[in-house]
Amino acid sequence: MTTIFKILFFFGFILALGFSFSWVADRPGDIWLEWEGQRYQTDLIVAVTALVATVAVVMLSWWLLRTLWTSPHSVRRFFRARKRDRGYQALSTGLIAAGAGNALLARRMSARARSLISADQEPLIRVLDAQAALIEGRHDEARRLFQEMSEDPETRELGLRGLYVEANRLGAHEAARQYAETAAEAAPYLPWAAKATLEYRCRAGHWDDAIRLLDQQKIAHVLERHEADRLKAVLLTAKAEDQLEAEPTAARDSALKALKLAKDLIPAAIVAAKAYVREDNLRKASSTLEQIWKIEPHPEVARAYVRARLGDSAVDRLKKADKLEALKPNNYESLLAVAEAALDAQDFKKARAKAEAAARMASRERVYLLLADIEEAETGDQGRIRHWMGQALKAPRDPAWVADGHVSERWMPISPVTGRLDAFEWKTPFDQLAVPIEEGTLSEGERALAALPPVARTERPAQPEPAIEAAKPKVLETEGLVIEDDTPEQPSKPLKAEAPAPAALSEQSEPTTDAVVVEPFFGRPPDDPGVKDPALASSEPKTRLKLF
């Protein structure tokens, strides 16, 4: 754009000059000059031409004189620039070689660049030397060069970066943390320093310091506004979790701030609800959970909502679950929440209906385990229970908190694997993905319901009706003989029995009739008040006679 402007300006100047000469030529006249008694007269056009030529000659003479006067310096500057260009060419070649891993060429180009350019004037020579030392495995020399660069204000950030990487390589995490924090405090716009410092402060639980550093990054425009707000909400939620037991009011304020920054952050809503419950403000707790439930139904939200008040009965919890379903109808989590509450309230019909509807909607491990619990509580049919347990073994797992391949039972602000902030997501683990359902085919839940065996009914054998109504048996005791009478009581005809001889009883091994059975038995203890004869209190077997 500048070149075009210069060309247009040049053509404009030529046109203006030509127009001026044409205008003077169209208006002829004479001009004269009288000097020391002599008069000089000429045409106007000749005088103007001579004036312009004189100015041009003066300017050209001045340029030639100035060039000759400054020629020694110009010559020196020319050769210096040429030498510098050769040095920068060697430096560029060396950096490319270092990036490619060619340590020999990088070292040779570094020596050439150092001979052509002063190291004090160009700090990139130290960078090239440090890279060549790292490639060749001379880490002590590399750390020395990085230390020198960290002391120079121009290369301080680069030197701290190199020292940080070397400290991590050696496992000196405390030294790496100090280098990262130094760089982050001096330059919060450095992504690596801010990220590393955030991770260290989060692992140590220094949430206020982490939030302050995040605000500095936001001001420096290192992070986008929505990303910074999300990370700040995560840090506030982690801070609220630590404050929940000792300072419920502070935990509530931190959680509510987090919800303002990220309305769909489920852990923040749960912490805020728990803080409200500790303040005996059940209405606010329920309202907070209802708002997050409308955005994203979650089993932890349902559990916190249904069991917010410890004194509620199972029927009261079922009513709360019904309210959640009304807020988010035809939803998998809503159906499961009602089914679990109905099972606790012993409303098996409703629990089964909701659980089966959830199974038709999504085939998951949790819904099949719930159906097995319902089957065990309602019918106790082992065949149907085994059917649901088998379906649970084959079904994909329910969503869980997953971060970098790690599955956790609860949400955490940072990943335990990489230390990344806001790494946990509520999703199905990678190795348990569900197969997509083709159009026109039955879902896994519908197939499982169709394959459910009927309830097994055990038929009891028919009992013959007794001819005489059963009555409480009577026991008649005589010396050495006990008679149990199982026949109905006949007050008009009392039962009488005579004790047979001991020898006859011992010889009789089987009852001779269907009405009398003689069995050996042991006598009562000596302290039994029903025993009158001490002989009956012995441990020797006696005879028991049953009448049928």
Residues 420/234, Cβ–Cβ less than 8 Å: no
Structure tokens at 76: 């020196």
The most confident of 415-429, 458-472, 533-547, by mean pLDDT:
415-429
Ranges 104-113, 188-197, 476-485: which has the least confidence: 476-485
- Please state, in angstroms and rounded to a whole number, the distance separating the CA atoms of residues 218 and 191: 11
pLDDT for the residue 526: 43
Choice between 77 and 175, residue whose per-residue pLDDT is larger:
175
Give the tokens for residue 282. 């059940």
Q: How far is CA 348 from CA 305, 319, 329, 352, in A?
A: 22, 15, 20, 6
Rg (alpha carbons) of the chain, rounded to whole number:
50
* pLDDT(97) > 90: no
Q: Among residues of the chain, what percentage have pLDDT more than 90?
A: 36
Q: Which amino acid is at 144?
A: R
Decide if pLDDT at 67 tops 70. Answer: yes
> Which band of pLDDT confidence, cut at 50, 70 and 90, is reported for residue 442?
low
Alpha carbon of 544 to those of 247, 344, 484: distances in Å? Answer: 77, 52, 8
Which is nearest to 239 in space by CA: 283, 281, 209? 209
**pLDDT tens-digit map of 304-360:** 999 998 888 999 999 999 999 999 999 999 999 999 999 999 999 999 999 999 999
Split at pLDDT 50, 70, 90, the class of 270 is very high
State the average pLDDT over residues 286-298: 94
Local structure of 400: helix, strand or coil: strand
Q: pLDDT class for 540, splitting at 50, 70, 90?
A: very low
User: Whose structure tokens read 């924090």?
Assistant: 181
Spatial contact of 312 and 282, defined as CB atoms under 8 Å apart? no
* Nearest CA among 185, 234, 239 for reference residue 207: 239
How far apart are alpha carbons 543 and 134 in whole angstroms? Answer: 103
User: Predicted confidence band at 103 (pLDDT cuts at 50, 70, 90)?
Assistant: confident
Structure tokens at 460: 């009891």
Taking only the tens place, the pLDDT of each residue in 372-411 is 999 999 999 999 999 999 999 989 889 999 998 899 989 9
Q: How far apart are CA 301 and CA 388, in angstroms?
A: 26
Residue in the structure block whose two tokens are 């410890």: 310
For tokens 């908190």, what's the residue?
A: 401
User: How far, rounded to the nearest angstrom, does the alpha carbon of residue 499 sit from its chain's CA centroid?
Assistant: 87
Q: Provide the pLDDT confidence category of residue 367 given band limits of 50, 70 and 90.
A: very high
How large is the average pLDDT for residues 181-204?
A: 86
**What's the pLDDT band for 255 if we cut at 50, 70, 90?**
very high
What type of residue is 175? A
One DSSP character per residue, 337-356 reads: HHHHHHHHTT-HHHHHHHHH
Segments in 101-138 forming alpha helices (H): 103-116, 124-136
What is the amino acid identity at position 270?
A: I
The listed range with the strongest mean pLDDT (4-8, 80-84, 179-183) is 179-183
Q: Which has more pLDDT, 256 or 516?
A: 256
> Quick one: pLDDT at residue 438?
47
Pairing mode, strands 474-478 and 425-427:
unpaired
CA distance 294 to 14: 76
Query: 228-267 in b/e burial notation, b at 16+ Cβ within 10 A?
Result: bbbbbbbbbbbbbbebbeeebeebbbbbbbbbebbeebbb
Tokens 């979790």 belong to: 241
Provide the pLDDT for residue 25: 76
> Is pLDDT larger for residue 14 or for residue 371?
371
Which residue shows structure tokens 């002063």?
Answer: 118
The residue ranking higher by pLDDT, 349 or 195, is 349
Strand 541-547 relative to strand 481-485, pairing:
parallel
Helix (H) or strand (E) holding 403: strand 400-403
Residue 138, exposed/middle/buried by CB under 10 A (0-12, 13-18, 19+)? middle
More confident position, 201 or 525: 201
- pLDDT, residue 1, reads 66
Token readout for 451 is 């394959």
pLDDT band for 482, please (50, 70, 90 cuts): very low
Confidence (pLDDT) at 264: 92
Answer whether residue 232 shows pLDDT above 90.
yes
| 41-46 LR contacts (CB < 8 Å, sep 24+) | 45/21
Which two three-digit tokens encode residue 127? 């960078």
Tens digit of pLDDT for each residue in 483-507?
Answer: 444 444 444 444 444 444 443 333 4
> In the structure, what pLDDT confidence band is assigned to residue 457 with cuts at 50, 70 and 90?
low
CA distance 309 to 285: 10
Residue 529 structure tokens: 């008040």
Higher-confidence residue of 44 and 231: namely 231
Is 90 exceeded by the pLDDT of residue 131?
A: no
Say what the pLDDT of residue 18 is.
82
Give the C-alpha separation, 485 to 476, whole Å: 8
* 196-202 average pLDDT score: 88
For the purposes of burial, counting CB atoms within 10 Å of the CB of 342, is it exposed (0-12), middle (13-18) or buried (19 or more)?
A: buried
**Dist. CA 210–CA 232, nearest whole Å:** 9
Tell me the two tokens of residue 521. 């038995």
Q: Please state the rounded mean pLDDT for residues 208-225.
A: 87
Give the per-residue pLDDT at 440: 47
Encode 144-187 in three state secondary structure: HHHHHHHHCCCCHHHHHHHHHHHHHHHCCHHHHHHHHHHHHHHC
Mean pLDDT of 125-154: 87
Q: How far apart are the first and last CA of the chain?
A: 126
pTM over 0.85: no
User: Which residue, 127, 132, 134, is CA-closest to 159?
Assistant: 127
